[in-house]
Structure 1
Amino acid sequence: MGVAGFAVLAIAATGCVPIQHPPEASQRADVVQAPTDGITAKEGGDLVMALSSEPDRLDPTTSTSLYTRFVMSSMCEKLYDINEKGEIVGQLATDLPEVSDDGLRVTIPVREGAVFSDGTPFNADAVRETLERNLTHEASVRKTELGPIERVSAPDDTTVVIEYGTPFAPLTAALADRAGMIMSPTALAEEGEFAEHPSCVGPFKFVKRIPQTSIELERDPNYYAADEIHLDTISYRIMSDANIRAANLRSGDVHVADSISPQDADALLLENDLELLQSGSLGYQGLTINIGNANGSGQPVEQREGPLASDARVRQALDLSIDRPALVNSVFNNWYDPACSAVAPTTPYATDASTACPTYDPEAAKALLEEAGIETPLRVDMLVANSPDALRYSQALQASVREGGFDLRINPVEYSTLLDMQKQGKFDLIQLGWSGRIDPHGNMANFLMTGGGNNDGGYSSPEMDDLLVRAAQLNDIDERAELYGKVVELVHEDVPLIYTYRQRNITGHSVDVTGVRTYSDGVVRLARAAFVAEKE
């Protein structure tokens, strides 16, 4: 019997059951925006945000970091955005796309009168150039997000036309994230990397960056809705330690802090001069297994050696060794939820198949390892971010998988270095997450399709590719949900990724600040924040 056959038997033997979420986590109410009712916003001021990790390149085409999205949300508008309800709304586009009956032609109307921060006029041709860059740049991680585009054109200054070979339903959702951030053609033509002199249409524009320290933005007076912007500057200060972020928030040295640790959240809720925003996440945290990334992401898949990379039974055993509910509840004080899939259970795409989870079963894990001829304990080296929460979880994980026959060795690495090592394929197992997108395609295809922009484990499966392509061609939510359930079932068989838990997005801010927003996509939005002048 082949590996795939063993995989099916293993899953059948251990069983999949729906995750039982701890009530303390699942019953927490979302608070996605700092209060604005009855508040007069102060004009001007310098807002400081504590950023939990160093962003990577300030380039929408090549960036992979959530923290880059925080910064760019203030200076790089997209064709579309999402609102507090998770609905797609126009930003640089003036309306939702018009799609032809056959689904092959998409027409997008765009703004008149907008200007990039470097003074270049915004128009449909600039949109065309950005989208073509996303499709052709050798380091682009946006191509899979945009689907099988055959041609992009700009028949006039306010109309963009995208033509497909086959229908692609997730396009609008993709354009509500980095794929839809439009870059200045002038900045793209300048010498050097765009990330060194980024220019977009946005409320704020880039001033300077001090690596590992800070990124500074200032208000752009040429922004088309400048009357809605209150702050003079936004400074993002890098503070990787959650305790330091919380201390700076309490002292008033920073006004906003992202990724508040569950270790601090309950205490901060009791502070009179601080407030917490919190929202459920569309994303996940998990473990990526390097199966075929021997030469760097984007290079042809090359099967790596070693039992974890070469035998699905070993990966299944690792999956079965993780006691998700116990780990999440003990490490994160019931603030987070266990997860076994990239499909958030709160979305319309969730099904029994996509929310099912292999039962924690260390004895079955050891049996699979024995079947695979593995001498236990099997040593596995795991890269992990050097943040306190990530280290706490990895240490608890280490103890959990030991029961299943694994000797997990933890190698802490600074976050931006971790991203580079992931892209270079310099890992066996890596603990990282994804902040989430409103369409499941954005949470799955880039990671699971052969050659996907974020498929850093080098996983390749024709069956998986076919499922994801077919799902993207459908408009019916139920039909798509059924296919994504099959995707999750195949993930549990092949185990290129092990989904472990789903965070809540927790943002702290001073009561002297209004208009801060944190939505389910994980991005902290500061563009329309302000200091409070007075309250009614």
Structure 2
Amino acid sequence: MSLLFRTTAAPVNGRRYARAAALVGSIAIVAVAATGCQPIQALPAAVTRTDVMSAPIGNQKIQEGGALVMALSAEPDRLDPTTSSSLYTRYVMQTMCQKLYDIDDKGKIVPQLATALPVVSADGLAVTIPVRTGATFADGTPFNADAARLTIERGLTLKGSARKSELGPIASVQTLNDTTLRINYKKPFAPITAALADRAGMVLSPKAVAAAGAAFGDHPVCVGPFKFAGRVPQTSIKVERDPLYYDAKNVHLDTITYRIMTDSNIRAANLRSGAVQVADSISPQDVDALSKEAGVGILQVGSLGYQGLTLNLGNTAGVGKPPGEINTPTAKDAKVRQALSMSVDRAALVNTVFNNWYEPACSPIAPSSPFASDLSRACPEFNPTKAKALLQEAGVQTPYPVELQVSNSPDALRYAQALQAAVADGGFALTIRPVEYSTLLDVQTRGSFAALQLGWSGRVDPHGNMFNFLATGAGNNYSGYSNPQVDKLLAQASSVTDQAARAQLYGQVVKQVQADNPVIYLYRVRSLTAYSTTVAGIDTFADGVVHLSNAAFVTKK
């Protein structure tokens, strides 16, 4: 989609909520023609939300079998845990590919294919992991420690791996016996357990990897309650119950179909009609009305992640490659990027655009994280007047033009259009280029952008929210950012185990990143998942993933 949006409207700031609401309403009229957005009204600034992370089965009667349909707000990328970067891929993989570890509803790391948390040697260089017996991959291959070893080594060596920097400075991986894995490090690496509670810990069938190689994602094979059944590109992905699963007695559905529905209005309409039973990423425009409807439940949970603007400082050859030179003021002059950050009133924008359902974000560390600090909680100054002065110091023309690529979903466009009007006060002329979500993932990987608006669903350890995005040459460093001091601090933070010391180091990283602004952090979503009360056993946690492995159709007893 190549449509460009340009609008002119009044600025938004934290002291003028009524004016901001009128602004967003007028902007939404522009979006209606292209996206079907509707105007919104501002709510009071202070609204307390309570997490609801589960729809328990309780004393309801389970109806064994059945075909559940979940509406996904975007299409997953390739179903390969080693290379994927999409939250929506994690939704699907969660039912098919179990991990060595997982997180629970309290954000604690718990064993899954492992049987206990790792044992770390006194010097921090050897991490020993016991794994379960009696598990089988969907292709009949026995699960064992050697399969886990091969998966981790694939994460380190496969071309295009997005997991390498998540796994840390591994020297070697050993299989001590069928039930014991050992990871040997060049230096201590504290985030390893958290990394193995995400895609890096999804253990792949050695037989399937050997047969498919880099094409593994076309037909993934893992240990899980369900197994891959088929994919229709841009339409749906289907999984079916795996009879070889070690805990098959607690799997109730026959199939789950993930149907791609990018429009939030369409997802809500299909939920109401019964065509789907679960829908992710319900729009803040719809959730209040849906929550009042009979037969509909809402799960909601705060996010460990963030939404932000990524500015291209040096991604000239693709993500993970050495930074190149981009000869633009945005890429070369930190004053220009600081001016853009200072033009954003985060609280006012998020409150008016998202009906107070989301929260402003100032850094990649959620305020609720045990690794949060005063530095990571501090928000950059909002000062449009000073922003204009910085642009003048940088010697650039004003209004300074910036092209922003953004997902063409209604909510993403609504925010981008409000942002466009808001930063005009700081001396910026923002042009919005909407593109399909899957295309935007490719754009950020290739580096074919000046600025783009995307987010990250978040991880329990800050390393998972920071190192891959901010360390020189890391697997998700879409900005092409490189700062030796940040690299040093991130490495230090990953090598110490004391939580307070790590929090202090990550706070120093945030302070430097807020000066350099390769990413301008904007807001945190609440994960809003709607479901039909004909189903239960659905969970959603702070990492943003909706869990359907133990879901079932139910009736009241």
Fold match, TM over 0.5?
A: yes
Amino acid at match of 2:248: A
In the alignment, does 2:143 pair up with 1:98? no
User: Distance in 2 between the 1:245 and 1:66 partners?
Assistant: 18
Structure 1 residues 305-343: Cα deviation after superposition (integer angstroms, max 9, x where no partner): 100011000000000011111110111000000011011
The aligned counterpart of 2:175 is 154
The aligned counterpart of 1:410 is 432
SS of the aligned residue for 1:262 comes to coil
User: Distance in 2 between the 1:23 and 1:155 partners?
Assistant: 59
The aligned counterpart of 1:137 is 158
SS of the aligned residue for 2:82 comes to coil
- Tell me if the contact between 1:24 and 1:335 (Cα under 8 Å) persists in the aligned partners: no
Q: Alpha-carbon deviation of 1:24?
A: 6.3
Q: Alpha-carbon deviation of 1:345?
A: 0.4
Change (3 A) 1:394 1:103: same
The aligned counterpart of 1:329 is 351
In the alignment, does 2:156 pair up with 1:174? no
- Tell me if the contact between 2:45 and 2:351 (Cα under 8 Å) persists in the aligned partners: no
User: Distance in 1 between the 2:252 and 2:57 partners?
Assistant: 13
Instruction: Describe how 1:27-426 pairs up with structure 2 within 5 A.
Output: 27-191=48-212, 193-426=215-448
Instruction: Describe how 1:431-510 pairs up with structure 2 within 5 A.
Output: 431-510=453-532
Amino acid at match of 1:107: T
CA RMSD, 1 decimal: 1.0
Q: Alpha-carbon deviation of 1:361?
A: 0.8
User: Distance in 2 between the 1:476 and 1:25 partners?
Assistant: 35
Give TM-score, length-normalised by structure 1: 0.95
- Tell me if the contact between 1:25 and 1:337 (Cα under 8 Å) persists in the aligned partners: no
Q: Alpha-carbon deviation of 1:189?
A: 1.0
Tell me which moved more, 182-191 or 55-64.
182-191
- Tell me if the contact between 1:290 and 1:427 (Cα under 8 Å) persists in the aligned partners: yes
- Tell me if the contact between 1:284 and 1:503 (Cα under 8 Å) persists in the aligned partners: yes
Q: Alpha-carbon deviation of 1:26?
A: 5.7
Aligned residues: 514
Q: Alpha-carbon deviation of 1:42?
A: 1.4
- Tell me if the contact between 1:25 and 1:336 (Cα under 8 Å) persists in the aligned partners: no
Q: Alpha-carbon deviation of 1:300?
A: 1.5
Identity %: 63
Q: Alpha-carbon deviation of 1:357?
A: 0.7
User: Which ranges in structure 2 are unaligned for 5 or more consecutive residues?
Assistant: 1-42
Q: Alpha-carbon deviation of 1:25?
A: 6.5
Q: Alpha-carbon deviation of 1:359?
A: 2.2
SS of the aligned residue for 1:277 comes to strand
Q: Alpha-carbon deviation of 1:505?
A: 0.6
User: Distance in 1 between the 2:44 and 2:200 partners?
Assistant: 36
Q: Alpha-carbon deviation of 1:107?
A: 0.2
User: Distance in 2 between the 1:273 and 1:359 partners?
Assistant: 45
Amino acid at match of 1:429: A
User: Distance in 2 between the 1:401 and 1:352 partners?
Assistant: 26
User: Distance in 1 between the 2:212 and 2:350 partners?
Assistant: 47
Q: Alpha-carbon deviation of 1:138?
A: 1.3
Q: Alpha-carbon deviation of 1:281?
A: 0.4
Amino acid at match of 1:321: S
Q: Alpha-carbon deviation of 1:103?
A: 0.5
Q: Alpha-carbon deviation of 1:99?
A: 0.3
Give TM-score, length-normalised by structure 2: 0.91
Amino acid at match of 1:314: V
SS of the aligned residue for 2:330 comes to helix
Amino acid at match of 2:352: S
